[in-house]
Amino acid sequence: MPMSDRSIEYAAKVAAFSALRGRILSENKVVLFDALDASGIAKAVVRFEGQGWVDPWKSCLTPCPGQTQTWSAGDGAYGDLTFNVDSRSFRLRYNRRVMASVRLTRWF
């Protein structure tokens, strides 16, 4: 089945967005890690709890040169996002909460 003009246009927009997202991520990583490194910060940890809210009082920036080291829809998530300046990488660990419903029927 041939693609319609709208489908072709949509596919082109998706491809352009994906390319832009990849470029922006690379550029932002450079800026972020350069700023952390210039500040003497070797590791930054952002802890979060709930539906997209970050608790700045539980988050920390750790100046430890030489050391290496959800937001989610529904019922929320909790975890941490760790930025490792030495390896210029970041790790997201999160636990997604899911509400379950179980229906039980008993006849007496």
Q: What pLDDT, on the 0 to 100 scale, is given for residue 12?
A: 92
Per-residue pLDDT 10s for the chain (108 aa) are 567 888 999 999 999 998 998 889 889 999 999 999 999 999 988 887 765 455 444 445 544 444 335 344 456 778 888 999 999 998 988 887 777 788 888 887
Dig out the tokens for 26 from the structure: 């690379």
Q: How far is CA 70 from the centre of its chain?
A: 7
Helix/strand/coil for 22: helix
Strands 43-50 and 60-62: antiparallel
First to last CA, the chain: 57
**Cα–Cα separations (whole angstroms), residue 98 to 3, 19, 51, 81:** 38, 33, 12, 20
Helix (H, G, I), strand (E, B) or coil at 57: coil
User: What is the model's pTM?
Assistant: 0.58
**pLDDT at residue 62, rounded to an integer:** 46
Instruction: Count Cβ atoms within 10 A of the Cβ of residue 51 and give its class: 0-12 exposed, 13-18 middle, 19 or more buried.
Output: middle
